[in-house]
């Protein structure tokens, strides 16, 4: 029986062969005893006594073959299922307790993953920052285009500074099957370049020095993958066609990749058109449009370094404001990682507390399930003692309970 490998072609045949070898050994030992004058019954008893625990010998031999662990696992599974059918109330209590703990923890982790952990669909997101103007008192303000132009001209801490603005009101995209409400945004020509993402079809907006629409792209639009598929059925020839957004005609110049959205995680299809430069852009008054600014840090530049540089520059920028109150409240720079701006601080803390609570609930469920199993083990003391007396080792018994 030596030299048996891990994988046997016929384990049942091996068992029969082992049984035959043991039986032959016992017969030979009994025959020797009879030759010494011992009667038949006593000879068989002596042979079995000298041989030892037959079941234990079989287990030790099968372990040497290497595949016995698989057989034991199958036996343990069958036994565990029989125990569950026998004590279905106990099994239901344990399964329900664990399911409650796992369900709560899984649900909360899914929310955390969706809101906080899932990577943004942009390139090198750790270099993306959002820039606002503010004061030491903590008030934040969106900058005007003249301020953005000064940052672009004099700051050396960024590879690019872009801006965007939500198109006010309810906007509808007229597609092949009717109108659909969309998220519409006016953006600078370099926004997608700053994000490090290119259209999957067509082209990006033509880059202009100030980022505003010029005659070539004044009536152009880029569609999100969702808007392209839902409104136009994934028409492969959509680039170059004219579509209407809230009644206004636009020429489609590109379609963004699937999964891309900006601002991030929009629940509606999105479209992007170039911001239009108006007379109001030339001043810094209450009527001057304000923009959300997103920028990409230059390679090797830390956020604090870029902020310090902009803060120094801002002391000169605010001199362009006539109102002294504006100069006061816009005298500082607020620079945050873009990912950090997507979730409010209070929401982050609340989600963290809920996840911790779900973890505690999971631990409580584990403790309760353990107590139930320990109580069950106390009831089965006689069974465990009997299995030990029959030759089952401590590891073997523990394995059985782990499988259950």
Q: DSSP per residue over 248-285, as a string?
A: EEEEEEEEPPTT--SSTT-SS-EEEEEPPP-GGGGS-S
Instruction: Tell me what the mean pLDDT of segment 187-209 comes to.
Output: 89
Residue 62: its pLDDT value, please? 65
Cα 178–Cα 182–Cα 186 angle in degrees, nearest 5: 130
Judged against a pLDDT cut of 50, whether residue 2 lies above it is answered with no
**Among residues 186, 165, 192, 185, which one has the least CA distance to residue 292?**
165
Distance CA 254, CA 184 (A): 15
Torsion sign across C-alpha atoms 308, 309, 312, 316: negative
Cα 220–Cα 273–Cα 233 angle in degrees, nearest 5: 75
Lowest mean pLDDT segment, chosen from 203-217, 310-324, 325-339:
203-217
Instruction: Tell me what the mean pLDDT of segment 135-141 comes to.
Output: 81
Residue 129: its pLDDT value, please? 95
The pTM of this model reads 0.64
Lowest mean pLDDT segment, chosen from 7-11, 35-39, 213-217:
7-11
Domain boundaries, the chain: 1-64, 67-118+344-404, 125-343
Average pLDDT over the chain, rounded to whole?
83
User: Six-digit token pair at 39?
Assistant: 């009667």
**294 phi/psi in degrees, rounded to 5:** -125, 135
Could you tell me the pLDDT band of residue 130, with boundaries at 50, 70 and 90? very high
Residue 208: its pLDDT value, please? 67
Decide: 276 and 219 in contact? Cβ < 8 Å: no
Could you tell me the pLDDT band of residue 64, with boundaries at 50, 70 and 90? low
Judged against a pLDDT cut of 90, whether residue 312 lies above it is answered with yes
Residue 252: its pLDDT value, please? 95
Distance CA 358, CA 305 (A): 39
**Among residues 92, 93, 70, 76, which one has the least CA distance to residue 6?**
70
**Among residues 62, 133, 78, 177, which one has the least CA distance to residue 307?**
133
H or E element at residue 26:
helix 11-35
Could you tell me the pLDDT band of residue 293, with boundaries at 50, 70 and 90? very high
| Tally of CB atoms within 10 A around 349 | 10
Instruction: Tell me what the mean pLDDT of segment 45-67 comes to.
Output: 70
Could you tell me the pLDDT band of residue 297, with boundaries at 50, 70 and 90? very high
Distance CA 223, CA 257 (A): 10
Instruction: Tell me what the mean pLDDT of segment 357-373 comes to.
Output: 87
């Amino acid at each position: 029986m030596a030299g048996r490998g891990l994988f046997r072609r016929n384990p049942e045949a091996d068992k029969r062969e082992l049984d035959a070898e043991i039986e032959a050994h016992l017969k030979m030992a009994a025959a020797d005893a009879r030759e010494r004058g011992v009667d038949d019954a006593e000879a068989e008893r002596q042979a079995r006594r000298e041989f030892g625990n037959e079941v234990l010998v079989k287990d030790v031999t099968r372990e040497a073959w290497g595949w016995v662990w698989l057989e034991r696992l199958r036996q343990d599974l069958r036994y565990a299922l029989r125990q569950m059918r026998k004590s279905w109330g106990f099994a239901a209590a344990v399964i329900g307790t664990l399911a409650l703990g796992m369900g709560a923890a899984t649900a909360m982790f899914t929310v955390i993953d969706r809101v906080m952990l899932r990577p943004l669909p942009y390139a090198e997101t750790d270099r993306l920052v959002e820039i606002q103007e503010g004061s030491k008192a903590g008030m934040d303000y969106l900058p005007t285009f003249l301020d953005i132009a000064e940052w672009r001209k004099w700051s050396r801490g960024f590879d690019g500074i872009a801006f965007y603005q939500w198109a006010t009101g309810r906007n509808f995209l007229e597609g092949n099957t009717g109108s659909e409400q969309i998220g519409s945004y006016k953006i600078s020509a370099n926004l997608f370049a700053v994000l490090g993402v290119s259209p999957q079809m067509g082209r990006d907006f033509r880059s202009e020095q100030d980022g505003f629409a010029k005659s070539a792209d004044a009536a152009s639009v880029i569609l999100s993958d969702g808007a392209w598929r839902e409104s136009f059925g994934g028409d492969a020839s959509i680039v170059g066609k004219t579509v209407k957004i809230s009644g206004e005609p636009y020429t489609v110049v590109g379609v963004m990749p699937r999964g891309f959205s900006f601002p991030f995680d929009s629940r509606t299809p999105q479209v992007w058109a170039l911001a239009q430069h108006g007379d109001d852009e030339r001043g810094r008054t209450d009527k001057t449009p304000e923009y959300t600014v997103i920028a990409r840090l230059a390679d090797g530049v830390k956020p604090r370094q870029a902020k310090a540089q902009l803060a120094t520059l801002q002391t000169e920028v605010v001199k362009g404001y006539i109102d002294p109150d504006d100069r006061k409240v816009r005298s500082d720079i607020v620079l945050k990682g873009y990912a950090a701006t997507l979730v409010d601080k209070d929401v982050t803390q609340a989600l963290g507390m809920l996840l911790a609570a779900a973890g505690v609930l999971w631990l409580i469920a584990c403790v309760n399930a353990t107590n139930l199993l320990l109580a069950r083990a106390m009831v089965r003391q006689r069974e465990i003692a009997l299995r030990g007396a029959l030759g089952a080792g401590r590891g073997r018994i523990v394995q059985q309970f782990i499988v259950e």
